[in-house]
Chains A and B, each alone.
Chain A
């Protein structure tokens, strides 16, 4: 067991460089990969190509008859559509708000949990629980049991009869998302804190650095890539938020909380503008690719760290 534990670090190294075997050897190596690769190609890339094709048609499912090819017209519509523009702004606000607050809270909780105290593992279990509640259930819980003006717990405890969701729709959605996603950020940051080299911190303390200096000069720089990773993974998940919007506000009041996924859903299944919805979908994919490029860069830097270890 001790041997295993001692070896652990050496073992998380890069795979051996692929051998330059003959064609047969290459196919033997490839064989286990192919089923997964082909499955992923077929199920994820084919629909996207079809979306590209659909985005060039003028197709409303309620209008019988032909679906003429209109080239890039749908894209012009999409870029001029004020509803989509406001959906884009809402997506950025909701995602940024949720990511920012969940990272701040997650960092605070990770710092608390990085110390040893009585019942630490129980507290950690309590803290990850919100993340495990089914998102639709969590959204319903906040909407009806907590935010409701007449019998919700918030007004029940603090008094008043504020209708939280109508008065502060964005904040209500963000609160629910932050409650669910703080545990995620906390887990990533806690892993970061626990990978800090303790000897170096001990040495700094011996040299007379106080807690704040250690936090500013050593912990935060060390945590930087964990903060980036949390922010980017959180953004990738949260930019697609649908459950909370669908459940809590239905995009309202007005379009105050309509984000891109919800707007495209409305265009597809309420207005049946298939061509326009596809063009909007393509635009969202392009935006996602831009964000994802940064995410991949962060992940691959962690990846290199793993290789150099």
Chain B
């Protein structure tokens, strides 16, 4: 009886903690459906007539090109990352090269290098090549940003392919393509999807490189939010609508990938 009571109590505590943590997000979404007067009221207004006015406003203010730039930079860099990382992970797991550990640690060490140290040369080079404010510059940079993560993650998924089955396939005369299609892909495709989603999340949310290397042409979704930084003449409800909208793709991607999220974030070290 006492055990069951404590069980319930801890469940309730967990629920309260969850709601407290998510509450700022709920407030963000609620505010995005308010009129500006209701959003800036003190004490905060809890009952109001929801309106889509703020969302209309941000589309009027041309958020669309920013969303499209983000979509392009995130999708293409994710595609490129997967194309580069999957074969590399294969060469570091199932058919390993000599000194595979060195390569593996080289990749992760590039992830640890602070972007701020590379910013100036990248900026000067992009300027020299006329590639400032260009989506493809962002595609290349986001690819290199996510590559180590994807190599490590894909490697950890490829190691789950049973070696006996691969070897049996080889004995039966299955070529490389057949074993990739018939044996490897079915096993690693959930991992492949999770890797892609996590790379997409990081590319979509990236701010430091975007704010320094893009402007009007290639500005990504977070750059649209820069206009809301100053408190003067702030439109709070409109800000909340914009913040909700730009966060939505990652929220969905993250909820979908949540079972594999920890594995990706720890570079495959934690399952």
A interface residues (Cβ-Cβ under 8 A, vs B): 7-8, 11-13, 15-18, 26, 29-33, 35-37, 39-40, 43-48, 50-51, 54, 108-109, 112-113, 115, 117-120, 122-138, 140-146, 148, 150-151, 153, 155-157, 179, 182-184, 187-188, 190-192, 195, 226, 229, 233, 236, 239-240, 242-243, 246-247, 260-261, 264-265, 268-269, 274, 277-278, 281-282, 284-285, 288-289, 291-292, 295-296, 299-300, 302-303, 306
Contact = CB atoms under 8 A, between A and B. Distances in A.
A125 B118 CA distance: 36
Contact of B228 (A11, A31, A140, A239): A140
A302 B151 CA distance: 17
A40 B228 CA distance: 35
Nearest to A236: B112
12 contacts: A8-B160, A43-B143, A45-B110, A109-B21, A113-B14, A125-B255, A136-B205, A137-B222, A145-B27, A145-B240, A243-B207, A285-B114
B258 A54 contact: no
B173 interface: no
A134 B205 contact: yes
Given A33-B91, A145-B31, A179 B100 contact: no
Given A11-B162, A33-B103, A129-B22, A136 B225 contact: yes
A33 B24 contact: no
Most A Cβ at <10 Å: residue of B106, B239, B258? B258
Interface string B227-238: 011010010100
A56 B207 CA distance: 29
Given A13-B159, A145-B240, A130 B24 contact: yes
B39 A140 contact: no
A182 B21 contact: yes
B107 A40 contact: yes
A191 B263 CA distance: 9
Contacts of B159: 11-13, 15
A35 B119 CA distance: 23
Interface stretch (B51-59, B61-69, B245-253): B245-253
A40 B148 contact: yes
Contacts of A190: 262
A191 B270 contact: yes
Interface in B47-91: 84-85, 87-88, 90-91
B121 A15 contact: no
Interface in B194-230: 201, 204-205, 207-208, 211-212, 221-222, 225-226, 228-229
A72 B94 CA distance: 47
Given A39-B144, A292-B109, A268 B120 contact: yes
Contacts of A277: 120
B93 interface: yes
A288 B163 contact: no
Given A33-B103, A130-B24, A134-B222, A44 B110 contact: yes
B179 to A, nearest CB: 14
A187 B261 contact: yes
B195 to A, nearest CB: 13
Given A137-B28, A183-B21, 13 more contacts: A18-B96, A44-B144, A51-B118, A112-B17, A120-B14, A124-B258, A126-B21, A129-B25, A182-B21, A188-B266, A288-B113, A288-B114, A292-B109
Contact of B140 (A31, A43, A46): A43
A264 B212 CA distance: 12
Given A47-B118, A115-B11, A296-B109, A302 B269 contact: yes
Interface string B106-150: 111111111111111111110000000000000011011001100
Contacts of B168: none
A157 B94 contact: no
Interface of B: 7-8, 10-11, 13-15, 17-19, 21-22, 24-25, 27-28, 31, 39-44, 84-85, 87-88, 90-98, 100, 103, 105-125, 140-141, 143-144, 147-148, 151, 156, 159-163, 201, 204-205, 207-208, 211-212, 221-222, 225-226, 228-229, 231, 234, 236, 239-240, 242-244, 246-247, 250-251, 253-255, 258, 261-262, 265-267, 269-271
Given A44-B118, A117-B7, A128 B207 contact: no
B208 A243 contact: yes
Nearest to B70: A134
A140 B161 contact: no
B221 to A, nearest CB: 7
Contacts of B110: 40, 44-45
A156 B42 contact: yes
Contacts of B253: 132
Contacts of B113: 44, 48, 285, 288
Contacts of A138: 24
A131 B265 CA distance: 11
Contacts of B100: 15, 18
